[in-house]
């Protein structure tokens, strides 16, 4: 009886442990749709964050980033956004491939549309050892003529490691 109780205790204790990881990525951003039509042609950025295991291969994530988009229109400033987002990451196929979705708020700096804006994104990637490669589609809610949502594809490369 003692052996059975001890075995069950240690098995349940092992399942209760959470895996934590941290990550950092550099990004090349390509505006899409109305955002591209409004005169923005490319951008660069970075992000850092962490995740904590929930159930199995599902993780709760949080991140802080910075994105700057080059304006090709004269008289229009570059758009700068600093997002703070929370979301979920689901690993597939032996924790190599993952899909993710997140949402949050971004501090936006631009001609006539500065302030805190709603942001959301979804993407997929691959984790090879500590290297992460991925692609996301992100949007920020703007109030500019012709651009209600600024959307872009982010090509990401970076690293992650477990704690």
- Tens digit of each residue's pLDDT (9 = 90 or more) over 115-143: 999 999 999 999 998 999 999 999 999 87
Structural domain of 69: 24-162
Residue 66's pLDDT is 98
pLDDT averaged over every residue in the chain: 87
68-83: pLDDT as tens digits: 999 887 777 889 999 9
Domain annotation covers residue 12? no
Residue 3 lies in a domain: no
Other Cβ atoms less than 10 A from the Cβ of 60: the count is: 14
Burial status of residue 30 (CB atoms within 10 A of its CB: 0-12, 13-18, 19 or more): middle
pTM of the model: 0.83
Q: Is 111 inside a domain boundary?
A: yes
Residue 106 domain flag:
yes
Q: What is the pLDDT confidence band of residue 111, given thresholds at 50, 70 and 90?
A: low
Contacts of 144 (CB under 8 A, 6+ apart): 38, 110, 112, 113
At residue 74, the pLDDT reads: 77
Find out whether 84 and 105 touch, Cβ atoms under 8 Å. yes
Beta-carbon contacts of residue 142 (< 8 Å; ≥ 6 apart): 108, 110, 113, 117, 148, 149, 150
Whether 32 maps to a domain, the answer reads yes
Q: For residues 56 and 105, which has the higher predicted lDDT (pLDDT)?
A: 105
Whether residue 88 is contained in a domain is answered as: yes
CATH of the domain at 36: 2.40.160.20
Domain count, the chain: 1
């Amino acid at each position: 009886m003692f052996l059975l109780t001890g075995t069950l205790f240690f098995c349940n204790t092992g399942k209760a442990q959470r895996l934590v990881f941290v990550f950092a990525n550099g990004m090349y951003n390509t505006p899409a749709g109305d955002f591209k039509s409004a005169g923005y042609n490319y951008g660069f950025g970075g992000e850092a964050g962490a995740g904590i295991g929930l159930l199995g291969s599902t993780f709760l994530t949080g991140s802080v980033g910075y994105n700057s988009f080059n304006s090709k229109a004269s008289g229009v400033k570059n758009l700068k956004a600093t997002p703070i987002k929370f979301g979920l990451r689901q690993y597939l196929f032996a924790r190599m491939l993952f899909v993710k979705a997140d949402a949050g708020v971004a501090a936006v700096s631009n001609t006539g549309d500065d302030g805190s804006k709603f942001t959301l994104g979804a993407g997929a990637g691959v984790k090879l050892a500590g290297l992460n490669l991925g692609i996301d589609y992100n949007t920020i809610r703007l109030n500019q003529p012709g651009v209600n949502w600024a959307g872009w594809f982010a090509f990401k490369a970076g690293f992650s490691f477990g704690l």
